[in-house]
A and B are shown apart, each in its own frame.
Chain A
Amino acid sequence: RKEVEQDPGPFNVPEGATVAFNCTYSNSASQSFFWYRQDCRKEPKLLMSVYSSGNEDGRFTAQLNRASQYISLLIRDSKLSDSATYLCVVNMGYGGSQGNLIFGKGTKLSVKP
């Protein structure tokens, strides 16, 4: 089983749609979780951290389910500028130390007018 798995997509949605991405991870000891976005031929950029209580940043909502080892990202009212690849990232650190960051292969989103 891969350490971090995502549906590769692509997801093709119209402007204004709500879209959800899912991610599963294999290591139950993983400590922290993130979503990144990567535009074509650019470096990945941190979108948001994911906390157990769930967290929201404007149109973006991230959820973590530790029991199911599952992470989600919801984008509401999608914009053309949301078109990118979304990467699920898991940190294998323990306690106060930060371990390796493992990236999923990403889900491609294309928002159409």
Chain B
Amino acid sequence: GAGVSQSPSNKVTEKGKDVELRCDPISGHTALYWYRQSLGQGLEFLIYFQGNSAPDKSGLPSDRFSAERTGGSVSTLTIQRTQQEDSAVYLCASSLATYRGGGAFFGQGTRLTVV
């Protein structure tokens, strides 16, 4: 498809387990963002990739969270030793690399539930 694709769409995991969330951005988009959204709350920035530049990791809530982007395309967000407060919808977005490139487009998200 032509849009941002995220997988899995839903993930239930036990507390303490590691999870990996995947994002396939729109082809040609060099900027990629990860956010999370808890029920009824706003979007919380996690990490931002732009081309070959060092990622902006300033939003990662703890060292249990990490992300990588291979070949400037697909990105994986990894949460180690999951906690119940990690339960949220994790949203990925991509955009063109120009500052007036028209904003970012989101995937449908991964709903993570830690039990």
- A-side residues, CB < 8 A to B, are 31-32, 34, 36, 42-46, 49, 87, 89, 91, 93-106
Contacts and interface: CB of A to CB of B under 8 A. Distances in A.
Contacts of A104: 42
Interface stretch (B11-19, B69-77, B94-102): B94-102
Interface residues of B, number: 29
A40 to B, nearest CB: 10
A87 B41 CA distance: 12
B33 A101 contact: yes
A98 B31 contact: yes
Given A43-B106, A94-B99, A103-B35, 17 more contacts: A43-B91, A43-B107, A44-B106, A45-B106, A46-B102, A46-B103, A49-B103, A87-B42, A91-B99, A96-B98, A97-B99, A100-B45, A100-B56, A101-B33, A101-B104, A102-B45, A105-B42
A93 to B, nearest CB: 4
Interface of B: 31, 33, 35, 41-43, 45, 48, 50, 53, 56, 58, 91, 93, 95-109
A101 B109 CA distance: 17
A34 B45 contact: no
B42 A89 contact: no
A66 to B, nearest CB: 14
A89 B102 CA distance: 12
A64 B43 CA distance: 22
Given A43-B91, A100-B48, A101-B33, A32 B106 contact: no
A48 B50 CA distance: 22
Contacts of B103: 32, 34, 36, 46, 49, 89, 101
Contacts of B35: 103
A32 B99 contact: yes
A97 B106 contact: no
